[in-house]
Amino acid sequence: RHPELINNMVQEMKEKAEMLYTNQMWEDAAVAYEEFAQKANWLANLISQCVEPYYSASYDDRNNISYSILKSYIPYENAANKYKEERNIAYLMIGQCYKKIGDIPNAVAYLYQALDLLSVDQEIYWYKAARLLSELVGFDPNYL
């Protein structure tokens, strides 16, 4: 498939999941977000592979690469990171869906995974995942 078509397909999967969530179709939304997360992760890994020769090079070889060459690969890294961030948010959304239908083990598993993958600059999602997981385990940070 043409890369643009793959990107569009992944974005359509995200939109489908968001629509199901908005319509409170929790089980279907969880499945759709899972499919989206898998495809976003797959696409991130494929795009990251384009930069793999740099990462597998020795320290000395990396230092010998000119910035002009390295600069041309920055968009690959940025795109891969974008898809990974979307995957991480999808795990949060899956956890929320499972919480809403009362499937606590799956809610905990996905929220745990989201927190494991979210970065500190995704503070809004970090806070939301931490709050939801805290609720599920009966922990109130306000009573410390």
Distances (CA, A) of 12 to 31, 32, 33, 117: 14, 10, 11, 23
User: In 3D, which of 129, 94, 97, 132 has the Cα closest to residue 26?
Assistant: 97
Position 3 scores a pLDDT of: 57
> Percentage of residues in the chain with pLDDT exceeding 90?
79
- Look up the pTM and report it: 0.89
Position 67 scores a pLDDT of: 85
3-state secondary structure of 23: coil
**Can you list the pairs that 36-42 forms with residues at least 24 positions away whose Cβ atoms lie under 8 Å?**
36/10, 36/86, 36/90, 37/87, 37/90, 37/91, 37/94, 39/9, 39/10, 39/13, 40/10, 40/14, 40/83, 40/84, 40/86, 40/87, 40/90, 41/83, 41/84, 41/87
- 7 — pLDDT class (breaks 50, 70, 90): confident
Q: List, for residues 115-130, the tens digit of each pLDDT value.
A: 999 999 999 999 999 9
Q: Can you tell me the mean pLDDT for 83-91?
A: 97
Position 2 scores a pLDDT of: 56
Q: List, for residues 14-67, the tens digit of each pLDDT value.
A: 999 999 999 999 999 999 999 999 999 999 999 999 999 988 989 888 888 888
